[in-house]
A = this chain, B = another copy of it.
Amino acid sequence: MNKQTKIAVLGGGSWATAIVKMLSENLATIGWYMRSAYAVEHLKRNKHNPNYLSSAEFNTEQLDLSDDMNYIVENYDLLIFAIPSAFLNSELEKLTASLKDKIIFSAIKGIVPETGLIVGEHFHQTFDIPYENIGVLTGPCHAEEVAMERLSYLTIACQDQEKAQFLSKCIASRYIKTKISDDIVGTEYAAMLKNIYAIAAGIAHGLGYGDNFQAVLMSNGIREMKRFIKKVHKMKRNINDSAYLGDLLVTGYSTFSRNRMFGNMIGKGYTVKSAMLEMSMVAEGYYATKSAFEINQKNGAKTPIIEAVYNVLYDKKEAKDEFLKLTDKLN
């Protein structure tokens, strides 16, 4: 970890773009892998991402852009993955360059569907990356507000606090405050679970529940998240820290959240399939729900909200009936 440690971002979406923007406040060179050759060309010529956060303008002299993932992996030391979890596995299949000795930070909020693992675990199990080389970069943070340079607080988690500190300094700027943590498992599960609660918030809204219920749902959600994570990885953590509660709130109260929107359509009567078709994408919380439900089958934490969402998404239960039952389990 020193000034020679070279940092790259992998991903072409809005969150990847926001992370590159944050880094560009501090670094002379940032590697940036994007799958789309068109987007790479467009960025080089027009200084902004054609598809996401296009209001964010870059100084292209700082960017080492490439649509070749292997080039980026070979030439950079600290790799920040910000590829949607649903595409991560197929993207990683392109990889021929070695990940040995690389530091991997996950900025992905979700579960890798093929393995049912959170991203850190996936890299550890599939690529033999030791945990001290794995980290997490988490919000509460809408990428759109980074583009607008609105003050945001990020948490950088890594078992190796020196690595967390290093990335933390590279990310911090006038509009970004950072905090380090050693809870990679907890912060990553929190980032994944919050999408399930955002789906639940959407379903409730779609069914006609109001703001009073939403507050009760979120207040139960954070207590449920605490119980769930405690079973997965018990350690001292304050669940009301920004990386857990803050992240839940920024998503659960956002009307722009795709997970909330997906839930809302289901609450309004769309089938799961038609909601997915209509959105022409799969909300990350969809996979998270299945995975969280299955993990908790073994762990046995009390998670009525996750169960209700699971029953609606995977067990063809009517949202109306499931949420009526759920209301009796909340307090």
Contact = CB atoms under 8 A, between A and B. Distances in A.
Interface of A: 139-142, 145, 148, 150-153, 177, 179, 208-216, 218-220, 222-223, 226, 238-242, 245-247, 249-250, 253-254, 327-328, 330-331
A55 to B, nearest CB: 14
9 contacts: A142-B212, A150-B210, A151-B210, A151-B213, A151-B327, A177-B330, A216-B242, A219-B246, A240-B240
Contacts of A238: 223
B222 A240 contact: yes
A145 B212 contact: yes
Contacts of A141: 212
Contacts of A213: 150-153
A148 B242 contact: no
A245 B252 CA distance: 14
Nearest to A238: B223
A299 to B, nearest CB: 20
Contact of A216 (B142, B246, B253): B246
Contact of A211 (B145, B209, B215, B242): B145
A240 B239 CA distance: 10
Contacts of A331: 153, 177, 179, 241-242
Contacts of A327: 151, 177
Contacts of A208: 150
A244 B246 CA distance: 16
Contacts of A142: 210-212
Given A142-B210, A218-B249, 20 more contacts: A139-B212, A142-B211, A145-B211, A145-B212, A150-B208, A151-B213, A152-B213, A153-B212, A153-B216, A177-B327, A177-B330, A177-B331, A211-B254, A215-B242, A215-B253, A216-B246, A219-B241, A219-B242, A219-B249, A241-B331
Contact of A151 (B152, B153, B209): B209
B212 A140 contact: yes
A210 B212 CA distance: 23
A245 B249 CA distance: 11
A108 to B, nearest CB: 18
A242 B208 CA distance: 20
A222 B151 CA distance: 20
Contacts of A328: 177
B152 A250 contact: no
A263 to B, nearest CB: 17
A150 B246 contact: no
Nearest to A249: B215
Contacts of A212: 139-142, 145, 150-153, 250
Nearest to A330: B153
A153 B210 CA distance: 12
A235 to B, nearest CB: 18
A309 to B, nearest CB: 18
Contacts of A241: 219, 223, 331
Contacts of A211: 142, 145, 250, 253-254
A196 to B, nearest CB: 17
